[in-house]
Amino acid sequence: MSDIHRGHCFCKAISWQVVGSPIRSVYCHCTLCQRLHASPFIHTIHYPADHFKWTHAEPHADHFEKYPVLDKPWKSRIRCRHCGVMVGSESTKTNNYSVYGAVLERDEEGQIKSWEQLKPTAHMFYGTRYLDVNDGLPKWEGYEEQSRLFSAQG
């Protein structure tokens, strides 16, 4: 199993790689992610900034836009300037990058590569979920380890 994991936007104008196991891999059901991604929930994977790098043509910043989140100005969402797909976010407060599982590289069968290393281990912000997920993973009302835990089965 390779320790380098790659992802790209829909049009492949932007791509990145992360190295090793993530700090955290979770499904996020917060209302910010729901709105910014127009999606019921997202799969977010956190890495320290020095484990992340852009791999598309330089200058990297020519191909993406950063959207600072209004009430969290230290956090920016990063999306492709060409196809508009959100590929990750950065936090200048924690010096972490979050990359989104849905844009990870797939194998010939369409399955995400290195799934065992990258798969989510919990749900966060389950309090504002669209739908119940019965996958047996821990479900936090807000942030992981910092909020009320719902039953693991529901």
Positions 18 through 57 that interact with Zn ion (CB under 5 A): 28, 30, 33
* 13, 23, 36, 133: residue in contact with Zn ion (rule CB under 5 A): 13
Residues 133, 27 contacting (CB under 8 angstroms): yes
- Binding segment (CB under 5 A) for Zn ion, from list 18-26, 81-89, 93-101, 135-143: 81-89
* 4, 11, 61, 152: residue in contact with Zn ion (rule CB under 5 A): 11
| Cis amide bond preceding 40, omega within 30 | no
* 5, 7, 9, 89: residue in contact with Zn ion (rule CB under 5 A): 9
Q: Write out the H or E segment, with its range, that includes residue 19.
A: strand 15-19
Residues 46, 24 contacting (CB under 8 angstroms): yes
Closest distance to Zn ion from the beta carbon of 8 (Å): 8
Residues 117, 134 contacting (CB under 8 angstroms): no
Sites of contact with Zn ion (CB under 5 A): 9, 11, 13, 28, 30, 33, 80, 82-83
